[in-house]
Amino acid sequence: MTSVAPDSLGYTVRVADVIAETPDASSLVIDVPQEIAHQFAYRPGQFLTVRIPSERTGSVARCYSIASSPSTDDRIKVTVKRTADGYGSNWLCDNITAGDDVHVLPPSGTFTPHSLDGDFQLFAAGSGVTPVMSILKTVLASATGTVSLYYANRDRESIIFDAELADLAKKHAGRLTVEHRLESEAGLPTPDNLTRFADGGQAGTVFVCGPAPFMAMVKETLTSIGYDRHRIHIEEFRSLDGDPFAPIRQVTADDDAETSTVDVTLDGDTHTLSWPADATLIDVMVGAGIDAPYSCREGECGSCACTLLEGTVDPGVTDALDPDDVADGYILGCQAKPTSPTLKIEF
């Protein structure tokens, strides 16, 4: 059941169950064998990258957020919502049943709390609730702060995890507040409505996931009433153009090539590496045997976001970073190439 394809990265794992969450959203419960369980340890809010067959290109890769919690659930659960023109989501919802195998990369992503301490303000629209649900469940199970969830949908039939949220609100009365905003009953979210919900929670940590206009409105509204933008974390769903399952480039030394020296700090450990001018940071780290965080390798998912502390780089494609991220010194390890002799970078 478990294998690594010789010509690709990732693992083939089995779908233990398929749960119909709403008429257009299903969850896949993944059975990860014990021998590779360490590869699938995850943090709340992360995602899995799934390889999906395609008659035109052989396969496509899509990222789906994890809805389960590492604190409360034995198996990883990812939730897939159909989109009108979404090849990947429709293929998975139409074809995958319990007992089928899927090829996936290990969990990845930076939409995850650095600490579970304190209070959390969560904002979701549609399937954007998926990673938010993972964070919500983990905070309630493993910490003592309060959690407030603002959740927007078209109508009541569209609410993913409706019954589970209701059960959690009863179980954690006094700690969990859920406000549903249904377009069919109250119209679309507005700055005034968001302000009424959020005012008073300025000291909390904020996570926002959903369509781009919704996330932009939430961020603008919160900053206008005194929230620190550095405490507002934004997630986006993106279709990947490249093939993250393709073997990663092997970096080889070339005496004639221009090479920089970089100190990279990851998980508290600092590594000093030679960084050729034509290689990305992820290429160099993986070539050195470092378990670097990455997924799409196309600058689209943000899994390899890191902070440039010293030196300069050619940033490459930075679609996954917003202007505030760039202003704060974030770069993408899968895109950045060195342009100064020495650099310091921290993940």
HEC readout, 189-248? CCHHHHHHHHCCCCCCEEEEECCHHHHHHHHHHHHHCCCCHHHEEEECCCECCCCCCCCC
Beta pairing class for 269-276 and 305-310: unpaired
For 70-104, give the DSSP string: TTT-SSEEEEEE--TT-HHHHHHHHH--TT-EEEE
**Within 10 A of 187 (CB to CB), how many other CB atoms are there?**
10
> Options 3.30.1490.20, 3.30.70.1230, 3.40.50.80, 3.40.50.300; which CATH number does 120-235 get?
3.40.50.80
The per-residue pLDDT for 56 is 75
Count Cβ atoms within 10 A of the Cβ of residue 110 and give its class: 0-12 exposed, 13-18 middle, 19 or more buried: buried
User: Does residue 303 sit in helix, strand or coil?
Assistant: coil
Beta pairing class for 205-209 and 176-182: unpaired
pTM of the model as a whole: 0.86
For the domain 11-108, what is the CATH code? 2.40.30.10
Q: How confident is the model at residue 300 (pLDDT cuts 50, 70, 90)?
A: confident
Q: What is the mean pLDDT of residues 248-276?
A: 84
The per-residue pLDDT for 322 is 84
- Domain map (residue ranges) of the chain: 11-108, 120-235, 259-346
- Residue 181 corresponds to which tokens in the numbers above? 């905003």
- Residue 248 pLDDT exceeds 80: no
**How many whole angstroms from its chain centre is CA 279?**
25
Of 155, 153, 182, 180, the C-alpha closest to 166 is 180
Superfamily of domain 259-346: Beta-grasp domain (3.10.20.30)
pLDDT digits (tens, 9 = 90+) for 45-73: 999 999 999 877 788 899 999 999 999 99
Q: How confident is the model at residue 1 (pLDDT cuts 50, 70, 90)?
A: very low
pLDDT digits (tens, 9 = 90+) for 78-127: 999 998 888 999 999 999 999 999 999 999 998 999 999 999 999 999 99
Alpha carbons 104 and 205: distance in angstroms, whole number: 30
In Å, the largest CA–CA distance within the chain is 67
- Residue 282 pLDDT exceeds 90: yes
- What is the gyration radius of the CA atoms in the chain, in angstroms? 21
pLDDT digits (tens, 9 = 90+) for 163-180: 999 999 999 999 999 999
Contact between 37 and 276 (Cβ < 8 Å): no
